[in-house]
Chain A
């Protein structure tokens, strides 16, 4: 009797150990899979960025080499960019200021027009608001690059070529629809009674907009602001077509100019590309959570 029980116990503990082992093996396999996938993802994601860093650390004239690790890391090219020490970088800070101005203005007007429009449609419930929503939706699904040629023609006719405001106008026109979506979507979480009680207390629409709507929308404003800034920072085509003089040029246009020349100073170009990438990356990581929330709220937009 007792031996029988003991046998059964041994058998069951053996079965248990067996299943434990199977479990452990499976866990080990999945861990190995995670490690393998992680390594692949890291190499895949970082290769072009590593290449950028590698070349920017080359001393001048040493770009045409075959090594894949930085041999003699030199910050010469970064220094050259920051002090405008190369003929091709003569106007770097001016171009950088132009890019900053462009980004700041696009962000400001996108937030302003977007919040005003969504306030009127969603909070004041203007009649035929859906027409405006549809216009925005339509803009959202038209590729901006398809309008570049007529847009360029129109700006030429108005004498607005080489004027940063032409690019700002284009980018605001293409960024505001996204702002309207996100604001409307986010605004649903704010009860309309808040506005109504303020109105009963005698607040004018402008006061409600400024004192109640905008403060309550702060998280959405941050999300959309980040989006608009990154959009302006990433944009190339309109800047390339419309800003070609020395005084109006932005960093991307300057970078592209040297892409196809034979004597491209690659180490300086890569250093410039890295310096240009620092602000958006910093802003992205700072506002990452808000931005992701914004992306999922108002639909999706590259």
Chain B
């Protein structure tokens, strides 16, 4: 910016300027005020609607007796099992499918483009619309799925949402259905960002097909894949809609996950503190994830 190598400039004035610059980030008077004015709206939003609720929530869930009550609840125990299954299957199956499918969508040609347009539809349609549709689709008596199974294969399908495991399975599959397109797009962009020369050189050297994927593509995508998996874990942990609309936490509160159990405790049985405690019991998982993610996202600048 300013060359400070001019000899006539008084040393003390240089020092003074350097000091004031370090205080104001190199901005002068009015400009400094403006730069502050530009961040104040967001900071106000952050403090009022993120930081304050976080602190308020920590305060609401700070009583140890809440956790004793929570851990005694058999519904909570089931919820933890469900959450773990939901995380393990939902995240990994989805990300693995996305990884494979992003390879499929790398194929040249018009047909692939048309397929991609169809394929992203589950993600583009609002969650509420699609999850309600899936809920009715899985109805044991009148649902489309069982009708189709009977008409096409003469199979009598079960009442999907009346059994804990099939209902939980339905929720997980719905989540995968909804979010695979999104992560496929991200990984597709990651694959596109691999320079053509690398791919061509690898091909000349005989690294095609599975070998090309294992030795060239995946190592280059690995960091992105890891970040996506971690982010997807966080998003899935906070996912409320899939469980709420597809299974509704039923039958008999057996398919709740932590996010929906918290809301149920707070509003259906009017124990907001217990609800906060249910959500906060995920902190041992959330905090390490957040720390790792903050580091990863900052250092790699999420450049694909």
B118 and A42: CB pair below 8 A? yes
Can you report 28 residue pairs joining A to B where beta carbons are below 8 Å apart?
A41-B118, A45-B119, A48-B137, A51-B137, A67-B147, A117-B39, A120-B36, A124-B27, A124-B35, A127-B26, A132-B43, A141-B294, A142-B290, A143-B238, A145-B238, A145-B239, A146-B57, A146-B238, A148-B262, A209-B38, A234-B241, A236-B128, A241-B267, A273-B128, A280-B124, A292-B185, A295-B185, A300-B228
B132 and A269: CB pair below 8 A? yes
**A173 and B142 in contact (CB under 8 A), knowing A119-B38, A146-B259, A259-B248?**
no
By a CB distance below 8 angstroms, the chain A residues around B302 are: 181, 185, 298-300
Contact with B along A111-122 (1 / 0, CB 8 A): 011101101110
Q: Which stretch in B45-53, B80-88, B195-203 binds the other chain? A: B45-53
By a CB distance below 8 angstroms, the chain B residues around A114 are: 42
- Chain A CB count within 10 A is highest, among B1, B42, B259, for B42
CA distance A170 to B53 in the complex (A): 10
CB distance from B243 to the nearest CB of A (A): 10
A41 and B267: CB pair below 8 A? no
Q: Which stretch in B11-19, B69-77, B275-283 binds the other chain? A: B275-283
CA distance A295 to B181 in the complex (A): 13
By a CB distance below 8 angstroms, the chain B residues around A148 are: 262-263
A149 and B279: CB pair below 8 A? yes
A151's contact among B53, B147, B238, B286, by CB below 8 Å, is which?
B53
Identify 11 new A-B residue pairs, CB closer than 8 A, beyond the known A48-B130, A126-B32, A281-B125.
A66-B151, A120-B38, A125-B35, A135-B51, A137-B298, A142-B286, A145-B240, A149-B266, A236-B128, A270-B136, A285-B124
Verify if B206 is at the interface (C-beta below 8 Å from A). no
A138 and B245: CB pair below 8 A? no
Secondary structure dominating the interface of A:
helix
B45 and A277: CB pair below 8 A? no
By a CB distance below 8 angstroms, the chain A residues around B56 are: 150, 153-154
**A139 and B46 in contact (CB under 8 A), knowing A144-B238, A146-B238, A233-B126?**
yes
CB distance from B214 to the nearest CB of A (A): 19
Verify if A104 is at the interface (C-beta below 8 Å from B). no
- Chain A CB count within 10 A is highest, among B53, B248, B267, B276, for B53
Which A residues contact B (CB, under 8 angstroms)? Answer: 34, 37-38, 41-42, 44-52, 54-55, 63-68, 112-114, 116-117, 119-121, 124-129, 132, 134-154, 169-170, 172-174, 176, 180-181, 185, 196, 204-206, 209, 233-234, 236-237, 241, 251-252, 255-256, 259-260, 266, 269-270, 273-274, 276-277, 280-281, 284-285, 288, 292, 295-296, 298-302
A296 and B125: CB pair below 8 A? no
By a CB distance below 8 angstroms, the chain A residues around B237 are: 143
CA distance A206 to B31 in the complex (A): 10
The 3 closest A-B pairs by CB, nearest first: A143-B238, A127-B25, A299-B302
CB distance from B52 to the nearest CB of A (A): 7
CB distance from A95 to the nearest CB of B (A): 12
A277's contact among B57, B126, B227, by CB below 8 Å, is which?
B126
CB distance from B21 to the nearest CB of A (A): 9
CA distance A135 to B129 in the complex (A): 33
A52 and B186: CB pair below 8 A? no
B142 and A65: CB pair below 8 A? yes
CB distance from A173 to the nearest CB of B (A): 4
A302 and B147: CB pair below 8 A? no
Verify if B150 is at the interface (C-beta below 8 Å from A). yes
By a CB distance below 8 angstroms, the chain A residues around B35 are: 120, 124-126, 205
**A116 and B111 in contact (CB under 8 A), knowing A52-B133, A237-B240?**
no
Q: How many residues of B are in contact with the other chain, CB < 8 A?
A: 107
CB distance from A100 to the nearest CB of B (A): 13
A48 and B133: CB pair below 8 A? yes
By a CB distance below 8 angstroms, the chain B residues around A55 are: 133, 136, 144
Verify if B253 is at the interface (C-beta below 8 Å from A). no
CA distance A276 to B158 in the complex (A): 31
CA distance A213 to B43 in the complex (A): 21
A150's contact among B60, B128, B177, B238, by CB below 8 Å, is which?
B60
A180 and B42: CB pair below 8 A? yes
CA distance A218 to B63 in the complex (A): 49
A300 and B128: CB pair below 8 A? no
- Determine the residue in chain B with the shortest Cβ distance to A264: B136
A169 and B45: CB pair below 8 A? yes
- Chain A CB count within 10 A is highest, among B126, B183, B262, B297, for B126
Verify if B23 is at the interface (C-beta below 8 Å from A). yes
